[in-house]
Amino acid sequence: MKKIIFAIAAIVTFSAGNTFAQRHSQPAKVIINARADNAAEEFKINKLDEIVKLSRKQENQIKKIENKYDRLTGRNQRHHTYQGMKRLEEEKQREILSVLTPVQRQRLFAYQHRFDNRYNRRG
């Protein structure tokens, strides 16, 4: 379970890292980063949809969660530390997982487990 949560948090952290790099620079760059951030979020939600078959309501809930955490990280300086970002990402992943049904969570974990075994083989 820890591996799965860590894997989800790592994917989100690596994909969101680019948007945090230039967030406090010129306003035009913020708009560009917001567009890129939205595109990245759409890509992640579409990928999750392919794996677990999200309903429209679930997609909208996940988008709201993503936007909520984008606002939290953008305006609050205490979340700009490694520990703060890690904690926020874990909270975000818990909220996203709470939107999924038990069957969808099993599909997601099975999908992730398939890739965990591929790279953690001995021999």
Q: What's the pLDDT tens digit per position in 68-110?
A: 888 887 766 666 788 888 888 899 999 999 999 999 999 988 8
**What does the pLDDT read at residue 95?**
94
Angle at 96 between CA 94 and CA 64, to 5 degrees: 125
Report the predicted TM-score, pTM, of the whole model to 2 decimal places.
0.61
Residue 27 CB partners (closer than 8 Å, separation 6+): none
**Whether the Cβ atoms of residue 15 and residue 44 lie closer than 8 Å to each other:** yes
